[in-house]
Amino acid sequence: MVNQRPVKRVFILGMDGAGNFIQQTDTPVIDSFLQKGALTYMAQAESPTISAECWGSVLHGVVPEKHQLNNDIAASEHFPTDSPHPSLFRLARETWPNAKLASFTGWSPINNGIIEEGLGIHKESLPDAELVVSLQQYVENNPDVKLLFMQLDEPDGSGHAHGYGPDSPEYLKSITACDQLFGKVLGTIEKLGLLEDSLVILITDHGGGGEHQYGHGSDHPMDKNVFWGCVGPGVEPGTKIAQLSIVDTAAIVAYALGMETPAHWDAKLPHSLFGEQG
């Protein structure tokens, strides 16, 4: 199915390991922005609730059993360009050979091992604050970018160091800090007049603190339940999403951009998200 709404580009803006704990700390940017579109605090991470498995599902549209990514593989191998499970970036490159595509990550294995090499994707991996400055400069110079992905890493790092969840002040502060960085990115997008014809997705990959205070990977609700939201053409303010897995992000992006989706994808388009879906 092809979206007839005027979406010219998609921004996927993510932070790592934040679960749905934006409910327990100050995130004024996310809260205000997502009032303009759809939001759920009960999206489901993929299992196991680990970064490579989860971001792999977001970007490749299939569950971990199919994309076969884990943290060790992502850190040491390039994702095969002839895989039957292409990333959104590979689909975009095959659809638009000359489109501008970009990925900015705090955790370098996403760029090096989860997103394919050799596709002409602008990739940068830097600490969160530096990453956002570089991303802002890129968008200002390339407002015609077709697909841009961002992953901020600090909430996960803080969770491992200080513990995850509502009883960990340092962890909650790291989520608030990422909210402020989201604000810088969204401010640039708005300043350039890109919001009206862009789909902007705000996402995290997993939570933490379920079975182990300083870790994640289980199916405990603290690890599995995550926030997910988006704003853009066709998404009405206050839209409720009854059921969504983070793997569905790929189908949403493909639909918004009008890309054909592989028949074997596990990613599904939520019927309640876009108005024309009823």
pLDDT of residue 271: 83
| Contact status, residue 219 vs residue 47, Cβ threshold 8 Å | yes
Which portions of the chain are predicted below pLDDT 50? 1-4, 277-278
> What are the tokens at 86?
């292409």
Instruction: State how beta strands 147-152 and 101-105 pair.
Output: parallel
pTM of the complete model: 0.96
Exposed e or buried b for every residue in 168-202, given b needs 16+ CB within 10 A? beebbbbbbbbbebbbebbebbeeeebbeebbbbb
Give percent of the chain with pLDDT exceeding 90. Answer: 94
pLDDT at 5: 58
Residue 203: name the closest of 2, 28, 34, 26 by CA.
Answer: 34
Average pLDDT of the chain to the nearest whole number: 96
At residue 1, the pLDDT reads 41
Task: Render the burial of 10-33: b for 16+ CB within 10 Å, e for the rest.
Answer: bbbbbbbbbbbbbeebebebbeeb
- pLDDT of 3: 44
Domain 9-277 sits in CATH at 3.40.720.10
